[in-house]
Amino acid sequence: MTNHLERTHSIVLSGPIDRVFPLFTPIGETLWVDGWDPEFLHPQDGETRQGMVFRTTHGDETTLWACTDWEPLTHCVRYVRVTPDSRFGFVEVACRPTADGATEASIAYTLTALNAAGRSYLSELTEDAFAHMIEAWKLRIDAWLQV
């Protein structure tokens, strides 16, 4: 069973960086992630900034999030996340424009299991499974960008 892992995958999205990067904020994700409904604890208006704290629920799991790095000028954001009954981790998104006006987004997850349930989750998040998850993001984001 895996206790700790790091995964990274990059996707090219069919929109300019100033339109794509905001989609990786908690409010932006509501536009393309089914069931994503963050509860903003601080600030309560959901403005993305360093130090923001929010909560999400997916199935029977609740996850607490905090934004540790918010760098809109360089199009980078980093979150810390803890699913208390399973795992602790970091999520980092770094975007850069491509020569043809699209956006390359590099998504990195660093996860540590907190218990057997977390080890089971991490063991299932193989390199291929992670790439598949992020490629699914690409499909949903590109579909939203076409609207």
Q: The pTM is what?
A: 0.95
65-79 as b/e: b if 16+ CB within 10 A: bbbeebeeeebbbbb
Q: Which domains does the chain have, with CATH numbers?
A: 4-146 (3.30.530.20)
SS3 75: coil
* pLDDT tens for each residue of 48-101: 999 999 999 998 999 999 999 999 999 999 999 999 999 999 999 999 999 999
DSSP strand E in 14-141: where?
A: 39-42, 53-58, 61-71, 76-83, 87-97, 103-113
* pLDDT tens for each residue of 16-35: 999 999 999 999 999 999 99
**Cα 1 from Cα 74, distance rounded (Å):** 37
**Are the beta carbons of 20 and 137 closer than 8 angstroms?**
no
